[in-house]
Amino acid sequence: MASGEVTITAIVPLEIDAAFSAFTTDIDRWWVRGPESGTVVRFEGERLLEVSTDGAVTLATVTASVPPTHIELDWDGPHSAPGDKVIVDFVPDAGGTRVTIRHRRQGIESAGALSAVIGLWWGDRLSKLQRR
Protein backbone atom coordinates (compact mmCIF):
# COMPACT_ATOMS: atom_id res chain seq x y z
CA MET A 1 0.00 0.00 0.00
CA ALA A 2 1.41 3.38 -0.98
CA SER A 3 2.03 6.16 1.48
CA GLY A 4 -0.25 9.15 1.04
CA GLU A 5 -0.12 12.71 2.20
CA VAL A 6 -2.49 15.55 3.03
CA THR A 7 -0.88 18.98 2.63
CA ILE A 8 -2.14 22.28 4.04
CA THR A 9 -0.35 25.64 3.61
CA ALA A 10 -1.03 29.09 5.04
CA ILE A 11 0.80 32.40 5.31
CA VAL A 12 1.21 33.44 8.94
CA PRO A 13 1.81 37.20 9.39
CA LEU A 14 4.91 36.69 11.55
CA GLU A 15 8.63 36.54 10.86
CA ILE A 16 9.94 32.96 10.71
CA ASP A 17 11.38 32.86 14.26
CA ALA A 18 8.12 34.20 15.70
CA ALA A 19 6.02 31.79 13.60
CA PHE A 20 8.06 28.80 14.79
CA SER A 21 7.80 30.01 18.38
CA ALA A 22 4.04 30.51 18.01
CA PHE A 23 3.71 26.94 16.73
CA THR A 24 5.82 25.47 19.53
CA THR A 25 6.26 27.62 22.65
CA ASP A 26 2.94 29.49 22.33
CA ILE A 27 0.82 26.64 20.93
CA ASP A 28 -1.75 26.93 23.73
CA ARG A 29 -2.68 30.45 22.58
CA TRP A 30 -4.16 29.21 19.30
CA TRP A 31 -4.61 25.41 19.42
CA VAL A 32 -8.23 24.26 19.52
CA ARG A 33 -8.65 22.21 22.69
CA GLY A 34 -10.64 19.09 23.40
CA PRO A 35 -14.19 19.12 24.73
CA GLU A 36 -13.16 19.36 28.40
CA SER A 37 -12.75 22.90 29.63
CA GLY A 38 -9.55 23.71 31.40
CA THR A 39 -7.27 21.79 29.07
CA VAL A 40 -3.86 23.14 28.16
CA VAL A 41 -1.88 22.16 25.06
CA ARG A 42 1.90 22.37 25.27
CA PHE A 43 5.14 20.85 24.16
CA GLU A 44 6.86 19.20 27.11
CA GLY A 45 10.25 17.76 26.23
CA GLU A 46 9.76 15.74 23.06
CA ARG A 47 5.98 15.38 23.44
CA LEU A 48 2.98 17.49 22.49
CA LEU A 49 0.48 17.10 25.33
CA GLU A 50 -3.12 17.99 26.03
CA VAL A 51 -3.24 18.38 29.82
CA SER A 52 -6.37 18.50 31.98
CA THR A 53 -7.27 17.82 35.59
CA ASP A 54 -7.66 14.16 34.58
CA GLY A 55 -4.05 13.94 33.38
CA ALA A 56 -2.14 14.29 30.14
CA VAL A 57 -2.77 12.82 26.70
CA THR A 58 0.12 12.62 24.24
CA LEU A 59 -0.93 14.11 20.91
CA ALA A 60 2.47 13.68 19.25
CA THR A 61 6.12 12.86 19.78
CA VAL A 62 8.77 15.11 18.24
CA THR A 63 11.11 13.07 16.03
CA ALA A 64 13.03 15.97 14.46
CA SER A 65 13.29 19.69 15.12
CA VAL A 66 15.35 22.26 13.24
CA PRO A 67 14.29 25.65 14.64
CA PRO A 68 12.99 27.83 13.07
CA THR A 69 12.36 25.92 9.83
CA HIS A 70 11.19 22.37 10.49
CA ILE A 71 9.52 20.02 12.97
CA GLU A 72 8.49 16.37 12.52
CA LEU A 73 6.03 14.51 14.71
CA ASP A 74 4.83 10.96 15.20
CA TRP A 75 1.14 11.83 15.33
CA ASP A 76 -1.21 10.23 17.89
CA GLY A 77 -3.74 13.06 18.10
CA PRO A 78 -7.13 13.51 16.46
CA HIS A 79 -7.70 11.67 13.18
CA SER A 80 -4.58 9.53 13.74
CA ALA A 81 -3.77 5.99 12.72
CA PRO A 82 -0.71 3.93 13.67
CA GLY A 83 2.37 5.19 11.85
CA ASP A 84 1.05 8.69 11.05
CA LYS A 85 3.71 11.38 10.60
CA VAL A 86 3.21 15.14 10.58
CA ILE A 87 5.87 17.37 9.03
CA VAL A 88 5.70 21.14 9.52
CA ASP A 89 7.91 23.47 7.47
CA PHE A 90 8.37 27.21 7.95
CA VAL A 91 9.62 29.29 4.99
CA PRO A 92 10.04 33.10 4.89
CA ASP A 93 7.47 34.76 2.65
CA ALA A 94 6.71 38.36 1.67
CA GLY A 95 3.60 38.25 3.89
CA GLY A 96 5.39 36.69 6.87
CA THR A 97 6.04 32.94 6.97
CA ARG A 98 4.60 30.17 4.81
CA VAL A 99 3.69 27.28 7.13
CA THR A 100 3.13 23.92 5.42
CA ILE A 101 1.77 20.92 7.28
CA ARG A 102 2.04 17.49 5.65
CA HIS A 103 0.14 14.66 7.36
CA ARG A 104 1.47 11.34 6.03
CA ARG A 105 -0.34 8.04 6.33
CA GLN A 106 0.19 4.70 4.69
CA GLY A 107 -2.52 4.08 2.09
CA ILE A 108 -4.44 7.33 2.43
CA GLU A 109 -5.91 8.57 -0.85
CA SER A 110 -5.43 12.28 -1.50
CA ALA A 111 -8.91 12.58 -3.05
CA GLY A 112 -10.67 10.48 -0.41
CA ALA A 113 -13.11 11.57 2.28
CA LEU A 114 -10.64 10.86 5.10
CA SER A 115 -8.07 13.11 3.44
CA ALA A 116 -10.69 15.86 3.30
CA VAL A 117 -11.44 15.48 7.02
CA ILE A 118 -7.74 15.57 7.92
CA GLY A 119 -7.17 18.55 5.62
CA LEU A 120 -10.07 20.49 7.11
CA TRP A 121 -8.89 19.69 10.65
CA TRP A 122 -5.31 20.90 10.00
CA GLY A 123 -6.66 23.85 8.00
CA ASP A 124 -8.65 24.92 11.05
CA ARG A 125 -5.47 24.80 13.15
CA LEU A 126 -3.54 26.90 10.64
CA SER A 127 -6.33 29.48 10.44
CA LYS A 128 -6.15 29.85 14.24
CA LEU A 129 -2.37 30.27 14.03
CA GLN A 130 -2.83 32.97 11.37
CA ARG A 131 -5.15 34.93 13.67
CA ARG A 132 -3.24 34.47 16.95
pLDDT at residue 1, as a whole number = 39
Distance CA 125, CA 132 (A): 11
How many distinct structural domains can be found in the chain? Answer: 1
pTM here is 0.85
Residue 77 pairs with which residues in a beta bridge? none
Closest to 23 (Cα-Cα) out of 97, 120, 85: 97
pLDDT one-digit tens code per residue, 8-31 = 899 999 999 999 999 999 998 888
For 25, phi and psi rounded to 5 degrees? Answer: -65, -40
The whole domain housing 83 covers 3-131
CATH number, domain with residue 111: 3.30.530.20
Strand, helix or coil for residue 13: coil
Does 76 have pLDDT greater than 60?
A: yes
Distance CA 8, CA 35 (A): 24
pLDDT at residue 64, as a whole number = 98
Contact 130, 11 (CB under 8 A): yes
